[in-house]
Structure formats: C-alpha cells, structure tokens
Chains A and B, each alone.
Chain A
Amino acid sequence: MYKLILAIRYLYRRRVSYFALIAVALCVFIVVVVMTVMSGLVGEFREKNHSFTGDCVVGTESLVGFTYYEDFLRKLESTDCVEAASAVIKSYALVGKVGSQRNMGVEIIGIDAATYGRATGFGGTLHYHKDDVSRAFKPTAVVRQAHHLDANLPGFVVGVDMWIWRDEKGEYYFAPNPEATAVTITCFPLTARGALAKAGTDLVNTKTFYFSDTSHSGIARVDGSVIYAPFEDAQALCGMKEPIARASWIHIKFKPMVGIDKGCGKVRKLWGTFYEQNKDKPNGELLAQVKVQGWKEHRREFIAAMEKEQVMLTVMFGLVGLTTIFIVFVVFYMIVSHKTKDIGILKSVGASGCDVVELFLGFAAGLGVIGSAVGIAFGLWFLRDINAIEDWLFERFGFQLWDRTIYAIGEIPHRADLTMMLVVAGCAVLACVAGAALPSVRAAKERPVETLQVSQI
C-alpha cells in the first residue's frame, strides 16, 4: 500500500516529475509527428505510382514495342483474375504550339482512354473529364462550340505541370473551360527492326492535336514530362501500326482480393504459353524482350530513390529516437538516484528490496504512461491541425514547411498509425522503467546504512 501512496506522491509532489513528464511527452510527440509525416509522404508516393501503373504490366522498354498484343489482351480479358487490361504506346515526341517555333521534348503515352482509365487511376488525375474518362480526348462541348472545332479532332491530355502554373500554395489555376490550343506532336517512326521508318526527307510523322485536359498524377516526373494522345494516333505517329500492329505495354488491373504477386504469377504463366505459341510468327522475335512486372518492380527506379531517402531518414530519426530514449533514461536515472536515501529509509523500517524496486518502477511506468499519453494526444492534435497550422504560418509569416512549387504534395500527411504510436509509447515507457530500474535495483541490493550514508546527487 505504501508503494502506491509513495509512487503517487513522487508523481505529483516533486517538480522534477513534471519535467520528466514533459520530457517524455515531448519525445513521444516529436517521434509520432515525424513518423506520421514521413511514412505518410512515402506511402502517398507509392500509392501514386501504383495508381499510375495499375497492378501489373506486360511489355518492353524498347521503343519498337512488341507484336500480337491484341491477342494477348483478349487472353487477359478472359482470365478470371483480371479486372481490366489496356495496351499503350510509349515513346518520345516533340511538342510545339501551332504557330510557335518552340519545341519541347516529351514522353508520349498513347492510350485508349476508356480501358486505360479502368486499368489505372488515370481518370482521377484529369481535371475537366474526371467523371468520364472515356471522353478524355474530346475537348468539352462548350469549347468545341466556342471555337468551332470538329468533334472528331483528336485531343491530347498534358501533364499538369507543363501546362498550368501553380501558386506558392500549390494550387493550380484552371480556367473554367480549357482554351482551344492546338499543338503539333512529332514522332520518329521506327520499323519492327528498330530503324527509322522513312528514309530521305520525310523522316518524321507530325499531327495536330487540340488541348482537351490536364493530368495531375502527383508524380513530378510524370506531370512535368508526359503527354497523352489517343492510342491509334500515337501508334500511327510512332510507326507501330503497320505492317503488324505493335504496342509498348499492357497495363493490367486485378480483381479486388487478388494479390499483386499471385496475379502477376498468373499473367507470367499466361505469357509463357502465349510466347511459345507466337514466337515463330512474323516479327515474333519481338516477344522475346517482353517482361511481366508488378507495379513496384516497374516503377522501381522512382520508388527506390524515395525508399532510399526513407531509409536514410529512418536511420536519422532512429538516432533521434535513441537519443530521446536515452534522455528519458537519464532523467529517470537522476530522479531515482536522488531518492536512494528513501530506499534506505524504507528498508530500515522493514520494506523488502523487491517492494522498493517495484515502487520506483511503478512510479516510472506511471510517469511514462502518462507522458506518452500526453505526447500522443498532443501529436494527434498537432497532426489534425498541421495543415491549418502551416497555412496560418504561411499567411502570417510567409513561412512554408514544404514549398508547394517544388513538392507535389497537396497537404501534409496527418493520419497517424496506431501500431506506430503504441510502439513509440512502449519504447518510452520501457526507457522510463529501465532508467529507474538501474539505480533502484542497485540501491535495493545494498545494506540500508549504505544507502543512507551516500551523499545524493
């Protein structure tokens, strides 16, 4: 009973306990906030890449592409684990506004808007056609009427950062209706053997497209350098339509509940038999370069960079975490060292060493739990309002944590993970208990007079 009474007394009678509590709370607060923001950013980036890619891709990096993709598409569509599959053309192009001398090198992706929208998260990245991705390449009716555009003119979708300015808050200024800008897209057609298709003067293919929408995938590399065009047009521009139609990649989305690895395994098997059946057909040799990749593997070079950063940051914050744990440890070591005389007194009136250790451990654990709870509560509060706080700082002092003109994040991640919080709190409590255990166990082992005589630090 005296253990409880004394532990509680130590908690609220000694000012140092309040300081220790604040120290624990601060440590927990910092770690929770940083971990949440960091893992949120990385998670968001992965999710964006997943959404951009779909679940699985079949294809080749070669600009020549591969043949018989339509046959394989049909096979995929009749597979039970596949929800949607869409073939795309991927190549490079020059883009220039009609009437302007300026040209820009871009990545061109030729897509069938409807199926691509089902296989990937493309639809959600559009601005004017969010609700109807299949019409992504059709300039809106208002624009068509205003500018007397032919309904059959091909449209193009452009990465948002190539088209629209962002203000310093990271917001894009969209006109209510897209202007009817026309661009010419120029490609270098390649034969199935990889040679430039047209000898002599006419080396390139050029076609005019009308602006129909922007795509905001949230991946800076994509939004800053990719232009989407209708599949057929892109295929023709890249010389992949004839003599045997070619495509670069097939993006696949699996049915819900189908694991990425399992789905990819099935597709790989399917491709294996498909390859055996088709490799001897004309231009079948192109099939040899085709690979089947899960989305993570496909986007590895982008995700890996981010993950490297995350590993580095984890190491750095691991060090911060270790430091905080050590600080908490020291605080408790000091508090209990300061109270070893009490251990001597308690033992001199007949308390057992174990009881005394329990008393101090109880005190430390109590403080640790309360401190962690306070830290987590503050952390959650801070995270909930982190975006509001940032806005306020920006409006008041012009200070911005993340420069929105550089970072493609809308808002700072603020969803804390319960497991992470429990682990952090657990570590904090353990550090408290360990810090208290060392001096109290040592003092409890000594004879009462010895602890009574020591001059206290």
Chain B
Amino acid sequence: MSKNDYILEAQGIHKTYRLGIAEVSVLKGADLAAKKGEFVAIVGASGSGKSTLLHILGALDKPDNGSVRFEGRDLGKMGGGELNRYRNKMVGFVFQFYHLLDELSVLENVVLPAMVSAGVVGWIMGRGNAKKRGLELLEQVGLKDRASHKPYQLSGGERQRTAIARALMNEPKLLLADEPTGNLDSATGNGILELLERLNRAGQTIVMVTHDERVARRAGRIITLADGKVK
C-alpha cells in the first residue's frame, strides 16, 4: 500500500497539561493513520485522552510534540489562514458537548460552516443552495421539522444530531466525531451509526471516538488508546 493512501497521519503525538506544578501527560507518543474511505473507531477509558487526540487531529489544539499530516501536508506548518480553511472545508468536527450557537436556529447552525466561508455577496448568491443542503442534512438526521427551533429547545440527542449535520455541511473529506452516540438511546444511536455507515459506504472517511465497544464494532477498524499511546 502506498503512503498516499493515508488521508490522515499522526505520528508521535505528545500532549501534557500543566496546572501549576502538577503535570498531566495525556498523550505520550500516540500514532494514528486513517486511509481514505476508512471508518476508524478510537476506544479507551474515560480520561485516556481520546478527545484530546481528536482535537489535535481537527487542528483545534496543538500537540506539544509530533506531527499531524492531512493528505501529506503537515498541519504544524500551515499558516493561520490555511488552518481556518482546513477546519472549515477539510474536516467536520462533532463535539462531545455539541457546542451549538444559541442565537441561531437549528438550520442556521447547520449552514454555519458555509456561511463562515462565504462573503456577504457569496452568501446572498449561495444562500438558497446552502439552505437546501442544510435541510437535506437535517432530514438525514431526522430533524427536518425542527429546522426553525433554537438549540435550547432540543433534547441532548437532537442537539448531537444537529452537530453532526453541521459537521457534514461543507462535505468535508474527513469527519471527526467525539462520542456521537454518547447521549442517545440505543435506537436513536443506532440510527446515527447507520447514518455514519451510509456515509462511509459513500466514501466518507470517519474517525470516531467512543468508549462503547459495541459502537466501536460498527467501525471498520478499532484503535485502543491507553497510557497515552495507541495499542
């Protein structure tokens, strides 16, 4: 297999949190690679650093040491503008705690990534298409009739599904999902997993964090994070 098949490569990732004199070494040389079209699940105990690793992969945080390459390009060498583009276009991130904007409706939250990348003129021209895609995504996650609601009017699971729809808005090459089924009952969680599987079959690369073995088994490959390293 040639090296170029990897869409994402992380090597020797170190991350240490310093709180005064206390140091918490969360990641101690974690390696991870995902091929294009792969569905990878990261499992590990609570506090093992799964979220931390995923944040680093999504360029939301910086490793103390080690490199992350996306399609062969080192994130650490990208400028601010490139990183913004990376977060906006290349990856879609689903947070463990959803992180939606309360002032915007569900639909507006979903189309936010498109809004951010478009200028005023671009947005006015492309608004129709963006809204159409946003509604399609909401339909896929079963929230079409909640489009005009506000995030605080939704249940936890519904917010999570909104966050997934937002992550998919700009058709990212890589979907990073932190516990996407963590707050859902098994039926709804199953629906989300089916959605992810469907996306994966259509060619979507997915890296998913979960602490649930049963959920992890739905992925193509399971990586276990323990003691700051990938086992």
Contact = CB atoms under 8 A, between A and B. Distances in A.
A221 B222 CA distance: 97
A449 B80 CA distance: 15
Interface of B is mostly: helix
Contacts of A350: 84-89, 113, 116-117
A33 B205 CA distance: 65
B47 interface: no
Contacts of B85: 350
Interface stretch (B20-28, B33-41, B99-107, B183-191): B99-107
Interface string A333-345: 0000000011011
Contacts of A449: 55, 60-61
B112 A349 contact: yes
Nearest to B56: A449
Interface stretch (B119-127, B153-161, B192-200, B211-219): B119-127
Nearest to B150: A13
Interface residues of B, number: 33
Interface in A1-19: 1-2, 4-6, 9-10, 13-14
B54 to A, nearest CB: 10
Nearest to B99: A345
Contacts of A352: 80-81, 84
A448 interface: yes
B166 A9 contact: no
Given A9-B103, A10-B103, A345-B101, A351 B61 contact: no
A349 B58 CA distance: 10
B103 A13 contact: yes
B159 to A, nearest CB: 13
Nearest to B59: A448
A452 interface: yes
A6 B120 contact: no
Nearest to B120: A1
B78 interface: no
Contact of B80 (A341, A342, A353, A450): A353
A348 B93 contact: yes
Nearest to B121: A1
Given A346-B116, A449-B55, A449-B61, A6 B103 contact: yes
A195 B85 CA distance: 98
Interface size band for A: 20 to 34
Given A1-B124, A13-B103, A452-B95, A348 B61 contact: no
B115 interface: yes
B118 interface: yes
B94 to A, nearest CB: 11
B50 interface: no
Given A2-B116, A4-B120, A449-B60, A348 B99 contact: yes
Interface string A426-457: 00000000000000000000011110100000
A216 interface: no
A129 interface: no
A347 interface: yes
Nearest to B105: A9
Nearest to B83: A350
A449 to B, nearest CB: 4
Contacts of A10: 103
B115 A1 contact: yes
Contacts of B100: 345
B58 A9 contact: no
B62 interface: yes
Nearest to A9: B103
A146 B145 CA distance: 97
Nearest to A2: B115
Given A1-B120, A10-B103, A349-B87, A447 B61 contact: yes
Contacts of B89: 350
B116 A349 contact: yes
A348 B84 CA distance: 8
Nearest to A452: B99
Of A1, A14, A447, chain B has the most CB atoms within 10 Å of the CB of: A1
B44 to A, nearest CB: 18
Contacts of A6: 101, 103-104
Interface of B: 55, 58, 60-62, 80-81, 84-89, 93, 95, 99-101, 103-104, 108, 112-113, 115-120, 122-124, 166
5 contacts: A13-B103, A349-B87, A350-B87, A352-B84, A449-B61
Interface of A: 1-2, 4-6, 9-10, 13-14, 341-342, 344-353, 355, 447-450, 452
Given A2-B123, A350-B88, 14 more contacts: A6-B103, A6-B104, A10-B103, A342-B101, A345-B101, A346-B116, A348-B60, A348-B87, A350-B85, A350-B86, A351-B116, A447-B61, A447-B62, A449-B61
In the A-B complex, the 7 residue pairs with the closest CB atoms: A350-B88, A1-B123, A9-B103, A2-B115, A350-B87, A448-B60, A449-B61
